[in-house]
Structure 1
Amino acid sequence: MAVVLDPVLQEILACPAPDHGSLRVGTPTDPEADALTCTVCGRIYPVEDGIPVLLLDEATDAQREEPNEGASQ
């Protein structure tokens, strides 16, 4: 099931990485995933119980789709 966010909230949310890209719902391989993907760096942030977890340590790399280890903050 795809994440449903208030449009205003989705517009103001941004990737916490230094590039601060906007976030889109889903992942590159699964547009219905409970996740948000940065449009600039490709990091994927989980959405748990409807709440985006925008922590670099919890993000996954879109190419590997596994947790980033040693992600700098």
Structure 2
Amino acid sequence: MVDNRISLIDPKLLELLVCPLTQNTLKFDREHNELISEKARLAYPIRDGIPIMLVSEARKLED
């Protein structure tokens, strides 16, 4: 059975995407289906395979 909540991110797309706040690269967190900005300590959600690159939609990461 396939978990439809988990999206696969095209590696080429991931190379192009940067954090809108810091302009740093992002890491894909497969477990939470998010793109992580370590410098900004934010996690951007991926919904229906589309990264939501809005700071207002990002989840703050805990230390």
Q: Which aligned segments of 4 or more residues in structure 1 are displaced greater than 4 angstroms? A: none
Contact 1:46 1:52 (8 Å CA) reproduced: yes
User: Aligned partners of 1:39, 1:62: CA distance in 2, in Å?
Assistant: 9
55-64 vs 40-49, which deviates more? 55-64
Give 2:12's match in structure 1, choosing from 3, 8, 25.
Answer: 8
Which residue does 1:67 correspond to in 2? none
CA root-mean-square deviation: 1.8
1:44 CA displacement: 0.5
In structure 2, stretches of 5+ residues that fail to align are none
TM-score by length of 1: 0.70
Count of aligned pairs between the two proteins: 59
Contact 1:3 1:50 (8 Å CA) reproduced: yes
1:37 CA displacement: 0.5
> Which aligned pairs between 1:1-73 and structure 2 lie closer than 5 A?
2-17=6-21, 19-26=22-29, 31-63=30-62
Q: Percent identity?
A: 32
Contact 2:7 2:48 (8 Å CA) reproduced: no
TM-score by length of 2: 0.79
In structure 1, stretches of 5+ residues that fail to align are 65-73
1:55 CA displacement: 0.4
